Structure 1
Amino acid sequence: MEPVDIDEADLRLLDLLQADASRSNQALAELAHLSPPTSLRRIKRLRQLGLIEREVALLSADRLAPLLGHGLTALVEITLERQGAEHLEAFEARVLPAPEVQQCYRVSPGPDFMLVVHCTDMPGYLALAQRLFTSDANVRNIKAFFSLKRAKFDPRLPLGRHRTTSPN
């Protein structure tokens, strides 16, 4: 990817949007020390550059638990038998569409993938594991860790004070 030039005002806007994307443009502009038209133009540019992928609502799992149940969160290590690019990509293509898979990382050293999955309960996890992992002949090892408590969850990226950034 090409390096992208952004300045302190862009970083302020990105940081403000990470904290609360539901703010009006007027409020964002005021907090970022910009005029509303400038704020709007910059945010549009940040979206076009792909620095803002999407805007979502973060739901409160604890407050939804009485309605939906607490569910089961697992951190799952996956090691493949063969690690060629085509095998890694095939595994990703298999797991990414599953709504239970919230996050998927290729990692090194150690296992090939780390997944964060959320299922309704242990039978739901077992069905997911059988569908995505144990039925795949290239999966050599599966190691799951089940969350007892989520002490922190924050999707914000630390932006630092750099004038130029190159997204990965």
Structure 2
Amino acid sequence: MEIDRIDRRILVELQKCNRIPNIELAESVGLSAPACLKRVKRLREGGVIVNDVSIINPELAGNKMTLLVSVEMERDRADIYQIFRQSIMKAPEVSQCYQISGSYDFMLVVCVKDIQAYEGFVERVLHTDLNIRKFHTSVSLRTVKFSTEIDLSAHE
């Protein structure tokens, strides 16, 4: 799907706040309200806008720990990877999962209320998968930057 300069401006604004009224959005990108609404609808239907969500403060929701978990699988096989991906999709503690290159096969971002909750996750998900060779856990001490925004300035 082709996106032009105005589409990019719309996307930049929506990434800041997707609850902006259409009239304000249209004004900020220099369109009429109906034309803006039509473009936003096209961006959603075309899969450019994937979802509209509320980002919750994990600490206020009770999840005070963020852990980065690197996972190395026993063998480099597609079926093993698929089984692991399916188990991770079911684990509510995992907020992000990336299949990566390098020494490890997957990188997980795990958010839990405390170390006991993490131990429960490890026992339930990681220790039950016999195809995991090893995993390494790093505890996040502080969030320096967290953003869901995609930089669109390089495309102009």
TM-score by length of 2: 0.95
Question: 1:100-121: per-residue Cα shift (whole Å, max 9, x none)?
Answer: 1000000001200000010111
Report the aligned-residue RMSD.
1.3
Aligned equivalent of 2:44, options 42, 47, 57: 47
Find the residue that maps to 2:10 and give its secondary structure: helix
**Segments of 4+ in structure 1 off by > 6 A?**
none
Find the residue that maps to 2:155 and give its secondary structure: coil
Distance 2:39 2:82 in 1: 35
- Cα offset for 1:158? 0.6
More relative contact order, 1 or 2 (CA 8 Å, 6+ apart): 1
| TM alignment of 1:25-104, pairs within 5 A | 25-62=22-59, 64=60, 68-69=61-62, 71-104=64-97
Number of positions where the alignment pairs a residue of Structure 1 with one of Structure 2: 156
Q: 1:48 to 1:59 in 2, by over 3 A?
A: same
Is this contact kept in 2: 1:8–1:161, CA < 8 A? Answer: no
Is this contact kept in 2: 1:13–1:28, CA < 8 A? Answer: yes
Distance 1:76 1:61 in 2: 18
Which amino acid is the alignment partner of residue 68 of structure 2? Answer: L
Question: 1:54-112: per-residue Cα shift (whole Å, max 9, x none)?
Answer: 111112345x2xxx545211000000001211111110001112111000000001200
Find the residue that maps to 1:137 and give its secondary structure: coil
Say if 2:4 is the partner of 1:11: no
Which amino acid is the alignment partner of residue 57 of structure 1? Answer: S
Which amino acid is the alignment partner of residue 65 of structure 2? Answer: L
Match of 2:155 in 1: 162
Aligned equivalent of 2:115, options 103, 109, 122: 122
Match of 1:166 in 2: none
- Cα offset for 1:151? 1.4
Find the residue that maps to 1:144 and give its secondary structure: strand
Match of 1:133 in 2: 126
Which amino acid is the alignment partner of residue 20 of structure 2? Answer: R
Say if 2:103 is the partner of 1:106: no
Distance 1:101 1:56 in 2: 17
